[in-house]
Amino acid sequence: MSEHTHHDHDHDHPHAEISHSERPGFYDIMETAVRELLIEKKLFGADEIRHQIELLDSRTPALGAKVVARAWIDPAFKSRLLANGRTACEELGISFYDDTQLIVLENTEKVHNLIVCTLCSCYPRPVLGLPPDWYKLKPYRSRAVTEPRAVLTEFGTHIPDDVEVRVSDSTAMVRYLVLPMRPKGTDSYDEEQLAALITRDAMIGVIPVSLQTGRTAQ
């Protein structure tokens, strides 16, 4: 994927001023009102909200990539990860701050996993950070469960008929993370080189990991 060259050009033209001129919507006002009430009632403080946002922003797909790369090179870790995703991630220092369990779903030659949350946007945030916008929007949320193969095709992923597609719909206590297949031709890669190949979308299950999809690919 080519990075937007926004930062490469000379700044010889003015950028639009960054401003927020839209009127807040119903839910924006509701959120502000509830937040102010909770702070006023001393149920929590403004700094706790700020800290929670800081915590959420610190989680990125690089953490999930670390988990997957470790599973690829360490079979004992992989079996602990498949048995209990949460405790295995905690071994690597990735804490779960939100009381959810994690089920790790292994893609194989015979099974392809895809994750979705049809009700809202449940997502393995402790290991992947915030979900992409398309994951939260209704077309993906409805179509991932009604026609997963068509959705995958639109992502460029063709699943052969003899491979079983398993769609996991996260609803309540459990989050899912896809453990993609290790691509061929990576026998000589070390853990860090492997981790660089593993992207967010592969851990959602919409694409496989390939030598072309990595975060460091040109």
Partner 1 sequence: MNKPARSLATGIVYALGEKPIFKPGDAIRILDRSPIGHYRVPIYLRGKVGKVETVIEPVAVDNEEEGFGRNAGSRRHYYRVAVPMSEIWPDYVGSPRDGLYIEVYETWLEKIAG
Active site amino acids: 117, 120-122
* Residue range at the interface with partner 1 (CB under 8 A); choices 53-61, 71-79, 141-149, 191-199: 141-149
CB of 205 to partner 1, least distance (A): 12
Q: Which residues pair with 116 in a beta bridge?
A: 169
Place of tokens 């639109």: 154
DSSP secondary structure letter of residue 43: S
Which of residues 107 and 168 has its CB atom nearest to partner 1 in the complex? 168
Q: Among the candidate windows 47-55, 56-64, 159-167, 210-218, which touches partner 1 by CB under 8 A?
A: 159-167
Cβ atoms of 154 and 217 within 8 Å: the answer is no
Beta-carbon contacts of 109 under 8 Å, excluding residues fewer than 6 positions away, are 163, 181
Q: By CB under 8 A, is residue 119 in contact with partner 1? A: yes
**Binding piece for partner 1, criterion CB under 8 A, among 2-10, 55-63, 66-74, 168-176:** 168-176
DSSP at 189: -
- We find the least distance from the C-beta atom of residue 204 to partner 1, in angstroms, to be 15
User: Which residues have a Cβ under 8 Å from the Cβ of 105 and sit 6 or more positions away?
Assistant: 113, 115, 166, 168, 176, 177, 178, 179, 205
Does position 94 interact with partner 1 (CB under 8 A)? The reply is: no
The site that binds partner 1 (CB under 8 A) totals a number of residues, namely: 24
Tell me which residues touch partner 1 (CB under 8 A). Answer: 101, 103, 118-119, 145-150, 161-174
